[in-house]
Structure 1
Amino acid sequence: MSTASDTPVLDTLLAMTGDSLERCGLAPDMLLLTRIAALAASDAPPISYIAHIDPALQAGLTAEQLQDVLVAIAPIVGTARVMTAAGNITAALGVAIAVAEAEAEAQIDAQG
Protein backbone atom coordinates (compact mmCIF):
# COMPACT_ATOMS: atom_id res chain seq x y z
CA MET A 1 0.00 0.00 0.00
CA SER A 2 1.43 3.32 -1.05
CA THR A 3 0.85 6.53 0.89
CA ALA A 4 1.30 10.11 -0.21
CA SER A 5 2.77 11.08 3.15
CA ASP A 6 5.59 10.08 5.46
CA THR A 7 3.13 10.24 8.39
CA PRO A 8 0.01 8.35 7.27
CA VAL A 9 -1.12 7.46 10.81
CA LEU A 10 -0.82 11.03 12.07
CA ASP A 11 -2.54 12.29 8.91
CA THR A 12 -5.44 9.89 9.48
CA LEU A 13 -5.79 10.92 13.13
CA LEU A 14 -5.78 14.60 12.15
CA ALA A 15 -8.45 13.99 9.49
CA MET A 16 -10.61 12.06 11.97
CA THR A 17 -10.25 14.83 14.54
CA GLY A 18 -11.15 17.48 11.97
CA ASP A 19 -14.26 15.55 10.92
CA SER A 20 -15.27 15.14 14.55
CA LEU A 21 -14.87 18.86 15.25
CA GLU A 22 -16.94 19.79 12.21
CA ARG A 23 -19.81 17.53 13.26
CA CYS A 24 -19.80 18.30 16.99
CA GLY A 25 -21.81 21.13 18.50
CA LEU A 26 -20.09 21.15 21.89
CA ALA A 27 -18.24 24.23 23.07
CA PRO A 28 -14.44 23.74 22.87
CA ASP A 29 -14.01 23.34 26.63
CA MET A 30 -16.79 20.75 26.88
CA LEU A 31 -15.47 18.90 23.84
CA LEU A 32 -12.02 18.65 25.43
CA LEU A 33 -13.39 17.55 28.80
CA THR A 34 -15.42 14.87 27.03
CA ARG A 35 -12.38 13.67 25.12
CA ILE A 36 -10.27 13.56 28.28
CA ALA A 37 -12.98 11.51 29.98
CA ALA A 38 -12.97 9.13 27.00
CA LEU A 39 -9.18 8.84 27.17
CA ALA A 40 -9.41 7.92 30.84
CA ALA A 41 -12.17 5.40 30.18
CA SER A 42 -10.13 3.75 27.44
CA ASP A 43 -6.95 3.63 29.58
CA ALA A 44 -5.06 5.74 27.05
CA PRO A 45 -1.30 6.26 27.38
CA PRO A 46 0.27 9.67 28.14
CA ILE A 47 0.94 10.41 24.45
CA SER A 48 -2.81 10.44 23.83
CA TYR A 49 -3.31 13.13 26.46
CA ILE A 50 -0.55 15.33 25.04
CA ALA A 51 -2.69 16.17 22.01
CA HIS A 52 -5.49 17.37 24.31
CA ILE A 53 -3.77 19.09 27.23
CA ASP A 54 -2.50 22.19 25.41
CA PRO A 55 -5.83 22.79 23.62
CA ALA A 56 -7.61 22.26 26.96
CA LEU A 57 -5.45 24.90 28.63
CA GLN A 58 -5.94 27.26 25.69
CA ALA A 59 -9.71 26.74 26.00
CA GLY A 60 -9.44 28.01 29.58
CA LEU A 61 -9.81 24.70 31.39
CA THR A 62 -8.13 24.41 34.77
CA ALA A 63 -6.41 21.56 36.55
CA GLU A 64 -9.37 21.53 38.94
CA GLN A 65 -11.78 20.94 36.06
CA LEU A 66 -9.65 18.06 34.80
CA GLN A 67 -9.71 16.60 38.31
CA ASP A 68 -13.49 17.08 38.46
CA VAL A 69 -13.86 15.05 35.26
CA LEU A 70 -11.87 12.22 36.81
CA VAL A 71 -13.96 12.39 39.97
CA ALA A 72 -17.15 12.31 37.91
CA ILE A 73 -16.16 9.24 35.91
CA ALA A 74 -14.50 7.28 38.74
CA PRO A 75 -17.66 5.34 39.71
CA ILE A 76 -18.11 4.28 36.07
CA VAL A 77 -14.56 3.49 34.91
CA GLY A 78 -13.03 2.48 38.23
CA THR A 79 -10.25 3.54 40.52
CA ALA A 80 -7.39 1.95 38.61
CA ARG A 81 -8.20 3.73 35.35
CA VAL A 82 -8.76 7.06 37.07
CA MET A 83 -5.44 6.82 38.90
CA THR A 84 -3.67 5.84 35.67
CA ALA A 85 -5.36 8.75 33.89
CA ALA A 86 -4.25 11.18 36.61
CA GLY A 87 -0.66 10.02 36.18
CA ASN A 88 -0.89 10.21 32.40
CA ILE A 89 -2.36 13.72 32.54
CA THR A 90 0.46 14.77 34.87
CA ALA A 91 3.00 13.37 32.41
CA ALA A 92 1.31 15.18 29.52
CA LEU A 93 1.26 18.43 31.49
CA GLY A 94 4.98 18.02 32.14
CA VAL A 95 5.64 17.63 28.43
CA ALA A 96 3.44 20.64 27.61
CA ILE A 97 5.28 22.77 30.16
CA ALA A 98 8.69 21.66 28.87
CA VAL A 99 7.70 22.48 25.29
CA ALA A 100 6.36 25.91 26.31
CA GLU A 101 9.55 26.68 28.21
CA ALA A 102 11.71 25.60 25.25
CA GLU A 103 9.65 27.78 22.89
CA ALA A 104 9.96 30.76 25.25
CA GLU A 105 13.74 30.29 25.51
CA ALA A 106 14.01 30.03 21.72
CA GLN A 107 12.11 33.32 21.34
CA ILE A 108 14.37 35.01 23.88
CA ASP A 109 17.47 33.68 22.11
CA ALA A 110 16.12 34.85 18.74
CA GLN A 111 15.51 38.36 20.08
CA GLY A 112 18.68 38.65 21.93
Structure 2
Amino acid sequence: MLKYTEDHEWLRAEGDEIVVGITPHASEQLGDVVFIELPDEGREVEAGEEVVVIESVKAASDISAPIAGVITAVNAALADAPGSVNDDPQAAWFFRIKPADPKAIEGFMDEAAYQALIG
Protein backbone atom coordinates (compact mmCIF):
# COMPACT_ATOMS: atom_id res chain seq x y z
CA MET A 1 0.00 0.00 0.00
CA LEU A 2 1.32 3.41 -0.96
CA LYS A 3 1.54 6.42 1.34
CA TYR A 4 2.08 9.99 0.16
CA THR A 5 3.81 13.17 1.31
CA GLU A 6 2.69 16.75 0.82
CA ASP A 7 5.82 17.12 -1.36
CA HIS A 8 4.31 14.64 -3.87
CA GLU A 9 6.47 11.65 -3.02
CA TRP A 10 5.13 8.13 -2.72
CA LEU A 11 6.35 5.67 -0.11
CA ARG A 12 5.97 1.90 -0.13
CA ALA A 13 7.00 -0.37 2.73
CA GLU A 14 8.94 -3.46 1.63
CA GLY A 15 10.14 -5.54 4.56
CA ASP A 16 12.08 -3.26 6.90
CA GLU A 17 12.77 -0.69 4.16
CA ILE A 18 10.74 2.06 2.53
CA VAL A 19 10.93 2.67 -1.21
CA VAL A 20 10.57 6.33 -2.29
CA GLY A 21 9.60 7.88 -5.62
CA ILE A 22 7.58 10.79 -6.96
CA THR A 23 3.90 10.80 -7.84
CA PRO A 24 2.46 11.13 -11.34
CA HIS A 25 1.29 14.62 -10.29
CA ALA A 26 4.88 15.64 -9.49
CA SER A 27 6.11 14.14 -12.75
CA GLU A 28 3.54 16.15 -14.71
CA GLN A 29 4.51 19.35 -12.90
CA LEU A 30 8.21 18.80 -13.64
CA GLY A 31 7.84 18.08 -17.34
CA ASP A 32 10.46 16.04 -19.18
CA VAL A 33 13.11 14.89 -16.71
CA VAL A 34 16.62 15.13 -18.20
CA PHE A 35 18.96 14.52 -15.22
CA ILE A 36 18.79 12.85 -11.82
CA GLU A 37 21.47 12.91 -9.11
CA LEU A 38 20.94 10.17 -6.52
CA PRO A 39 22.29 9.93 -2.96
CA ASP A 40 25.08 7.61 -1.91
CA GLU A 41 24.14 4.23 -0.49
CA GLY A 42 24.90 4.05 3.22
CA ARG A 43 24.20 7.76 3.72
CA GLU A 44 22.42 8.57 6.96
CA VAL A 45 19.73 11.22 6.43
CA GLU A 46 17.32 13.25 8.50
CA ALA A 47 13.68 13.79 7.57
CA GLY A 48 13.47 16.81 5.28
CA GLU A 49 17.10 16.58 4.16
CA GLU A 50 17.58 17.04 0.41
CA VAL A 51 18.79 13.76 -1.07
CA VAL A 52 17.94 13.77 -4.81
CA VAL A 53 18.36 16.47 -7.45
CA ILE A 54 16.04 16.33 -10.45
CA GLU A 55 16.44 18.52 -13.51
CA SER A 56 13.75 18.83 -16.11
CA VAL A 57 13.26 21.01 -19.14
CA LYS A 58 11.22 23.33 -16.89
CA ALA A 59 13.23 23.52 -13.67
CA ALA A 60 15.56 21.88 -11.19
CA SER A 61 14.15 20.63 -7.91
CA ASP A 62 15.10 18.50 -4.96
CA ILE A 63 13.56 15.49 -3.33
CA SER A 64 13.86 15.36 0.43
CA ALA A 65 14.04 12.29 2.58
CA PRO A 66 10.51 11.86 3.96
CA ILE A 67 11.85 10.10 7.05
CA ALA A 68 15.12 9.75 8.94
CA GLY A 69 17.18 6.66 8.27
CA VAL A 70 19.92 5.13 6.13
CA ILE A 71 19.83 4.98 2.32
CA THR A 72 20.18 1.27 1.53
CA ALA A 73 19.86 1.32 -2.28
CA VAL A 74 19.43 3.69 -5.20
CA ASN A 75 17.88 3.10 -8.61
CA ALA A 76 21.04 3.57 -10.67
CA ALA A 77 19.09 2.95 -13.90
CA LEU A 78 17.61 6.45 -13.50
CA ALA A 79 21.00 8.03 -14.13
CA ASP A 80 21.04 6.52 -17.64
CA ALA A 81 17.30 6.89 -18.29
CA PRO A 82 15.94 9.82 -16.25
CA GLY A 83 12.92 10.06 -18.55
CA SER A 84 11.59 6.79 -17.13
CA VAL A 85 10.27 8.94 -14.27
CA ASN A 86 7.90 10.53 -16.77
CA ASP A 87 6.98 7.19 -18.36
CA ASP A 88 5.91 5.48 -15.12
CA PRO A 89 6.52 7.54 -11.95
CA GLN A 90 5.25 4.83 -9.63
CA ALA A 91 7.66 2.24 -11.04
CA ALA A 92 10.68 4.59 -11.23
CA TRP A 93 11.71 4.59 -7.58
CA PHE A 94 14.63 6.77 -6.47
CA PHE A 95 15.95 5.20 -3.28
CA ARG A 96 15.29 2.75 -0.48
CA ILE A 97 15.68 3.82 3.11
CA LYS A 98 15.86 1.83 6.32
CA PRO A 99 13.90 4.09 8.67
CA ALA A 100 15.21 5.02 12.09
CA ASP A 101 11.58 4.62 13.25
CA PRO A 102 9.89 1.65 11.54
CA LYS A 103 6.44 3.15 12.27
CA ALA A 104 7.27 6.51 10.61
CA ILE A 105 5.41 5.59 7.42
CA GLU A 106 2.12 5.42 9.31
CA GLY A 107 2.01 9.23 9.61
CA PHE A 108 1.72 9.86 5.87
CA MET A 109 -1.38 10.30 3.71
CA ASP A 110 -3.28 7.44 2.13
CA GLU A 111 -4.48 7.58 -1.49
CA ALA A 112 -7.79 9.31 -0.65
CA ALA A 113 -6.10 12.04 1.40
CA TYR A 114 -3.51 12.62 -1.32
CA GLN A 115 -6.16 12.87 -4.03
CA ALA A 116 -7.98 15.45 -1.87
CA LEU A 117 -4.71 17.40 -1.57
CA ILE A 118 -4.12 17.62 -5.31
CA GLY A 119 -7.80 18.11 -6.10
TM-score (norm 2): 0.25
In proportion to residue count, which structure has more helix? 1
Name the one with the larger strand percent.
2
